[in-house]
Amino acid sequence: MIQGTDLDPVAVWLANVALAAECLPFVAAAPAAQRRPLPEFATVGDGLDVPAEPATAVVMNPPYGRVRLDDDERARWSHATLGHANLYGLFLAAGIEQLADGGAMAALIPTSFMAGNYFQNLRSFMVDSAPLREVTFVEARSGVFAGVLQETCLAAFAPGANRSLTQVGSLNGRRVQVARVPSPANRGPWLLPRRKSEASLAATASKLPSTLAAAGWSVSTGPLVWNRRKADLGSRRSGNCVPVVWAADIDGGVLHQDPARDLVRWLKLTGNDERVLVLDEPALFVQRTTAPEQSRRLVVAELGDADLDRWGGRVVVENHVNVLRPCPVSQISRQLLHGLLRSDVMDRVLRCISGSVAVSAYEMEALPLPDAVTLASWEGLRGNALDQAIRSTYGARP
């Protein structure tokens, strides 16, 4: 991993290398003759503490998981957290702080820090302090992390204003070079190709001037958390009831009523549901999670005026669905956005933002778009003509 940096190989051996402390009793229990001696520089301690001396290299396979911070810890890590904190994000921030001048950090970590909403401050801190120099996406995860579905990468970071490129690779038995791209330089989701075939698409898309949010569309998750409302869900319409849109109703990209949801089709409204839950205007729906084997990550369906009439004029959307609505002034019509999100190109762009099966509202709002003039010129296009215009603007090879 550190090959791409200017590190002296000897310095790497003098680095801070984290070993699982819970392995020490197993090491101690092994017969002395069979024990492999620990390196002399090994110490036991809290990896988040400030070390006595800065390190030339930090190499880590940090712990993952959401962590609750007390007020002091929240203040300590405020430069690298936003909302929920993840332990591996704290380790990345600590590792960067521990680096000596000219040092580098390598980490085996999930890729969520590259795109997640809660990692915006960490990305800012990295961009300012130790930009991403090399990333290798781990393709074959079975045997590496048992039971882990998250996309994982080996990433190297190093300070230095003169180093502005990031080497991107993928690992499936052996490392394959994918692309050399400008180092990500913003706090928004980073767009990085996972495969060679997406290198030009990622490079072109990351230079586009706008985003879905900037073009006047908001994305939010469906507000109904069904398991908190089991008692109010049923198969029959009675009293003040509204039909529920479930993720399964969007399967195949056309809004329909999946018979498997018949028993929970209607929600009885109570309290302030009318204001908080009910959607009574046209929108687009995008599934929030897709199965790993599914060919598309972006599964989108339209709730047009006619659909809304068919559903009785009002729906409640369940929280496995993203709801896309136009702001009062938007640069892109619902019909065009529908066509764009259904395109093969946007699906591939999303995969350069996130390798996860989840499609978050935050990542959707950050989808790169061309300027308003180009969007306006696409308004009348349909089918092949639209696909062709999208492909050429996004630099997508077929």
Q: DSSP labels for 95-152? A: HHHHEEEEEEEEEEEEGGGGT-GGGHHHHHHHHHHS-EEEEEEE---TTTSTT--S-E
Binding residues among 211-250 for ligand SAM as defined by CB under 6 A:
none
Residue 136, amino acid: T
Q: Which of 397, 393, 346 is nearest to 207 (CA)?
A: 393
Choice between 14 and 148, CB closer to ligand SAM: 148
Choice between 106 and 244, CB closer to ligand SAM: 106
Choice between 47 and 131, CB closer to ligand SAM: 47
Q: Classify 168 as helix, strand or coil.
A: strand
Q: DSSP labels for 23-92? A: GHHHHHHS-GGGPPPPPTT---S-TTSPPSS-EEEEEE----SEE---HHHHHHTTTT--SSEEHHHHHH
* Residues in CB range of 221: below 8 A, 6 or more apart: 288, 319, 321, 322, 323, 361
40 belongs to the binding site for ligand SAM (CB under 6 A): no
Strands 315-317 and 66-67, bridge-based pairing:
unpaired
Residue 50, amino acid: V
> 122-161 mask for ligand SAM (x: CB under 6 A)?
----------------------------------------
Angstrom distance (rounded) from CA 186 to CA 208:
14
* Of positions 21, 148, 254, 376, contacts ligand SAM by CB under 6 A: 21
Choice between 73 and 347, CB closer to ligand SAM: 73
Binding range to ligand SAM, per CB under 6 A, among 15-23, 97-105, 177-185, 365-373: 15-23
State both tokens at 303: 């709730």
User: Number of H helices and number of E strands within the chain?
Assistant: 13, 20
Angstrom distance (rounded) from CA 238 to CA 18:
60
* # of chain residues touching ligand SAM (CB under 6 A): 11
* Of positions 1, 7, 15, 18, contacts ligand SAM by CB under 6 A: 18
Choice between 47 and 193, CB closer to ligand SAM: 47
20 belongs to the binding site for ligand SAM (CB under 6 A): yes
Choice between 95 and 189, CB closer to ligand SAM: 95
Choice between 19 and 100, CB closer to ligand SAM: 19
93 belongs to the binding site for ligand SAM (CB under 6 A): no
Binding range to ligand SAM, per CB under 6 A, among 56-64, 299-307, 350-358, 373-381: 56-64
Closest approach of Cβ 110 to ligand SAM, in Å? 11
Closest approach of Cβ 11 to ligand SAM, in Å? 20
70 belongs to the binding site for ligand SAM (CB under 6 A): no
Are 182 and 164 in contact, with CB atoms under 8 Å apart? yes
50 belongs to the binding site for ligand SAM (CB under 6 A): no
Q: DSSP labels for 307-331? A: HHHHTTS-EEEBTTEEEEEE-SS-S
* Of positions 11, 12, 51, 61, contacts ligand SAM by CB under 6 A: 61
* Of positions 46, 72, 101, 293, contacts ligand SAM by CB under 6 A: 46
Closest approach of Cβ 10 to ligand SAM, in Å? 22
Are 193 and 353 in contact, with CB atoms under 8 Å apart? no
Closest approach of Cβ 100 to ligand SAM, in Å? 20
Binding range to ligand SAM, per CB under 6 A, among 44-52, 112-120, 235-243, 355-363: 44-52
Angstrom distance (rounded) from CA 371 to CA 383:
21
48 belongs to the binding site for ligand SAM (CB under 6 A): yes
Name the residue with the smallest CB distance to ligand SAM.
20
Interface residues with ligand SAM (CB under 6 A)? 18-22, 46-48, 61-63
